[in-house]
Amino acid sequence: MRGGGLLKASSPPRSPPPSTSSPKQQQRQRNSIAMAASPAGAPQAGKPLVVVGSVNADFVLSVDRLPLPGETVSASTMDLFPGGKGANQAAAAARLGHPTRFIGQCGEDANAAFMRQSLADSTVDCAFLRQVPGCATGSAYIFLQPSGENSIVILGGANQSQWDVSEAHAEAIRGAGAVLLQREIPESVNLRVARVAREGGVPVILDAGGVDAPFANEGELVRFVTVLSPNETELARITGLPTETEDEMLRAAASLLDLMAPGGRVLIKLGARGSMLIWKKKEEGGAHGGDGGNSGDAKYCGLRQAPVAVANVVDTTGAGDCFTAAFAVGTVKGWGEGECLRFASLAASKCIQQKGAMVSLPWLKDMEADNDEAESAKATPFSF
């Protein structure tokens, strides 16, 4: 994608202007494969996506490089942006045109109003964004290097305070087309939400980012997840297995699939190297139409998605959240898995061309522009 994809800072605050799909986009939509029923239930395009997760005010410090132990370096600028993995993913899904409800917690400070307004500006339903008395809103301190790579330190604040998953929350979860979770809130909350969703036949998508630790209770949460999405570092962390090579990543993903319920998928985000979606071969034709490889005695199938090229990477902070949210939108709409991967790859390529997490997320109108590179970056099947 070269030129024409950069979001402007003056993007409309409440809702994007009406857009008209190009003929190529219309054809892609017509060719999307309807999702077949899975053990978690089939997503329904008319139902909202419910995101349960964190809210953070992101303080971004631009540095030439990270300091060595005992060293002090200077930052050239510091900017404040709305963020948090939960809030970012809710905003991304809403901007990409799907009704999105957010369940989260903020504090009693100026950042709370800032975050609520930022979500509302992205058209997210914030009725379940709770203000926690006597608590600060979560925050993140992001060290951004000229290459666009970042390192992040999180202060949980209200995200880690006492949560109450009420009956009103449970009703919203049961009425969702899918539920999207991350790991910047207590795992007990994610487990409670995932149980409610699974009992209601609602697919659960879990982004593995947010906690520098494996899953608790021998991976109990994973058993309720339909799609588990780590990057390669997170994959190593949650499995305890090496992930330096593709073969090692595939073995680690297979170990997670052995814990997940039938129909489970592992979606590995690889940054500039694209992504991979993996599932058990005996379940081919399951959740999204089974576009994967089908050779020999292989036990697992997958799709390998190339990234959409960009001319200039500015900031990768929100790219993973954007990717996962876009994949979730495609899932709820019932698209084929290859289509979900291409859509997610294109969305992430738009996101990394602007500084900040939530403010860089693309609107649907940005996605509908003709893009030959995105069209050619089709997922390829494999098996192992």
Q: What is the 3-state secondary structure (H, E, C) of 224-293?
A: HCCEEECEHHHHHHHHCCCCCCHHHHHHHHHHHHCCCCCCCEEEEECHHHCEEEEEEHHHCCCCCCCCCC
pLDDT at position 293, please? 55
pLDDT at position 185, please? 97
pLDDT at position 218, please? 86
Strand partners, 100: 49
Q: Which of 32, 139, 30 is nearest to 84 (CA)?
A: 139
Angle at 134 between CA 129 and CA 140, to 5 degrees: 65
Asked if pLDDT for residue 217 goes beyond 60, the answer is yes
Helix, strand, coil in percent for the chain, rounding step 5:
35, 20, 45
Asked whether the beta carbons of 55 and 84 are under 8 A apart, the reply is: yes
Q: pLDDT digits over 36-78, tens only?
A: 333 344 556 689 999 999 999 999 999 999 999 999 999 999 9
- Cα(4)–Cα(228) distance, integer angstroms: 32
* Confidence label for 282 from pLDDT (cuts 50, 70 and 90): confident
Task: Look at 27 and 200; give whichever has higher pLDDT.
Answer: 200
Asked if pLDDT for residue 199 goes beyond 50, the answer is yes
* Confidence label for 295 from pLDDT (cuts 50, 70 and 90): low
Asked if pLDDT for residue 1 goes beyond 60, the answer is no
- Model pTM score: 0.83
Residues 340-346, mean pLDDT to the nearest whole number: 95
Strand partners, 302: 278, 382
Which run of H or E residues covers position 193? helix 187-199
pLDDT at position 357, please? 87
Residues 250-266, mean pLDDT to the nearest whole number: 96
Asked whether the beta carbons of 244 and 219 are under 8 A apart, the reply is: no
Task: Look at 121 and 9; give whichever has higher pLDDT.
Answer: 121
Q: Is 65 exposed, middle or buried (0-12, 13-18, 19+ CB in 10 A)?
A: exposed
Buried b (16+ CB within 10 A) or exposed e, 260-297: bbebbbbbbbebeebbbbbbbbebbebbbbbbbbeeee
Active-site residue list: 321
Q: Is 213 helix (H, G, I), strand (E, B) or coil?
A: coil
Q: Which of the 8 DSSP states describes residue 54?
A: -
**Neighbouring C-alpha atoms within 13 Å toward the C-beta of 315:** 25
Dihedral angle of Cα 257, 258, 260, 266, to the nearest 10 degrees: -10
pLDDT at position 372, please? 59
Asked if pLDDT for residue 10 goes beyond 50, the answer is no
CA 184 from centroid of its chain's CA atoms: 13
Single-letter amino acid code for the residue at 245? T
Beta carbons within 8 Å of 330's beta carbon, 6+ residues apart: 339, 340, 343, 344
Single-letter amino acid code for the residue at 378? K
